[in-house]
């Protein structure tokens, strides 16, 4: 097991390096000159060539490409992602709190999604083909085809405007969590509930269930066995779900004005604040890789068969 973890971590080093390199060249591919963007953002009325050259020197953009990359990389390792073009604040002072806020939102949503999809998946698998199963699947099919922002708008209109129960935006109290979490949960639970259900169903037809029945074990004990085996699939799926949801709260965050990464990134894109976009890509991709490693290790711990795979 120790070997597996070390192996997996070592494998991620070249991947992380490639990712950092990719995030770096991404910005350099932009059709716009960064110096020009900075000057525009600072509201300089007339942009002369001299001013651009001066800004280039100030930002270190006149140095060779590789040198810039190494400088940038070493700075990133110390959480120094440069300075925002627009506000002039250090990028980390903007990204750090936003990261934490998105993490809070994701954490609560993932817990809700896991609870809902395991609950529904198990119930539906045990009553396969019955009315409850059919109606839950019909509703979930409909909900996954619904744009999340539309659902969000409807919920805001009903609960915040019509009934005046919940805040429409911001992150002031625990009540602010209710609507964004509901929207994310409804969108994803439909997908994950189907995975839990189908993995339960495929386990129902396994030999060990037949054997258990032949031995005269009670329904309850057999169900517990099936549950344990099918949750293995669920664990790996949920581990992958965490980074996916973390990276895709963009629309919901913008709708509810949640002060997180999604709002920040869209704002930076609209104002062409390159250092923030760059840091955003780098941090999320690194988080994605680390989450994947964590999920592999967790899976290997649960299923010894997987340890030799790598």
Torsion sign, CA atoms 49, 51, 57, 60: negative
Site string for another protein, 237-276 (x = CB under 8 A): x--x--xx-xxx-xx--x----------xx-xxx-x-x--
Q: How many CB atoms lie within 10 A of CB 99?
A: 20
Restricted to residues 60-79, the positions that interact with another protein (CB under 8 A) are none
Taking CB under 8 A as the criterion, the residue among 6, 42, 100, 150 binding another protein is 150
Would you say 22 or 211 has its CB closer to another protein?
22
Site string for another protein, 202-241 (x = CB under 8 A): x----------------------------------x--x-
Asked if 66 contacts 24 with a C-beta cutoff of 8 angstroms, the reply is no
Cα angle value 17/20/22 (rounded, 5°) = 110
Taking CB under 8 A as the criterion, the residue among 8, 104, 137, 307 binding another protein is 137
Is position 101 an interface residue for another protein (rule: CB under 8 A)? Answer: no
Residues 6+ apart with CB under 8 A from 204: 125, 226
CA-CA distance, 225 to 215, in Å (whole number)? 14
Q: What tokens does 149 get?
A: 């922002």
Asked if 256 contacts 169 with a C-beta cutoff of 8 angstroms, the reply is yes
Is position 188 an interface residue for another protein (rule: CB under 8 A)? Answer: yes
What's the Cα-to-Cα distance from 170 to each of 94, 182, 299, 302, rounded to whole Å? 17, 15, 37, 40
Q: Which residues bind another protein (CB under 8 A)?
A: 15, 18-19, 22-23, 26-27, 29-32, 128-129, 134, 137, 141-142, 144-150, 153-154, 156-157, 161, 187-188, 191, 194-195, 197-199, 201-202, 237, 240, 243-244, 246-248, 250-251, 254, 265-266, 268-270, 272, 274, 277, 280-281, 284-285, 288-289, 292
């Amino acid at each position: 097991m120790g070997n597996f973890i070390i192996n997996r971590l070592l494998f991620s080093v070249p991947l992380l390096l490639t990712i950092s390199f990719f995030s770096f060249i991404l910005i350099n591919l932009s059709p716009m000159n960064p110096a020009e963007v900075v000057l525009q953002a600072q509201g300089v009325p007339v942009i002369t060539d001299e001013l651009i050259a001066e800004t280039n020197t100030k930002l270190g953009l006149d140095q060779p490409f590789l040198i810039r990359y190494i400088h940038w990389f070493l700075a990133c390792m110390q959480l120094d992602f440069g300075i925002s073009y627009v506000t002039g604040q250090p990028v980390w002072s903007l990204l750090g709190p936003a990261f934490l806020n998105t993490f809070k939102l994701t954490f609560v949503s993932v817990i809700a999604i896991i609870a809902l999809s395991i609950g529904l998946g198990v119930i539906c698998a045990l009553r396969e083909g019955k009315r409850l199963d059919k109606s839950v699947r019909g509703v979930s099919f409909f909900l996954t085809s619904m744009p999340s922002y539309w659902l969000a708008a409807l919920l805001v209109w009903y609960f915040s405007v019509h009934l005046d129960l919940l805040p429409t935006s911001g992150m002031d109290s625990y009540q602010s969590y209710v609507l964004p979490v509901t929207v994310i949960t409804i969108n994803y639970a439909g997908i994950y509930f189907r995975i839990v259900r189908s993995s339960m169903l495929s386990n129902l037809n396994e030999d060990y269930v037949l054997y258990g029945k032949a031995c005269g074990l009670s329904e309850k004990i057999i169900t517990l066995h099936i549950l344990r085996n099918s949750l293995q699939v669920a664990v790996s799926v949920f581990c992958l779900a965490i980074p996916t949801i973390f990276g895709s709260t963009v629309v919901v965050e913008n709708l509810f004005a949640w002060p997180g990464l999604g709002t920040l990134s869209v704002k930076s894109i609209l104002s062409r604040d390159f250092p923030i976009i760059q840091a955003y890509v780098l941090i999320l991709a690194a988080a994605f890789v680390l989450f994947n490693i964590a999920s592999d290790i967790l899976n290997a711990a649960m299923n010894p068969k997987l340890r030799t795979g790598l």
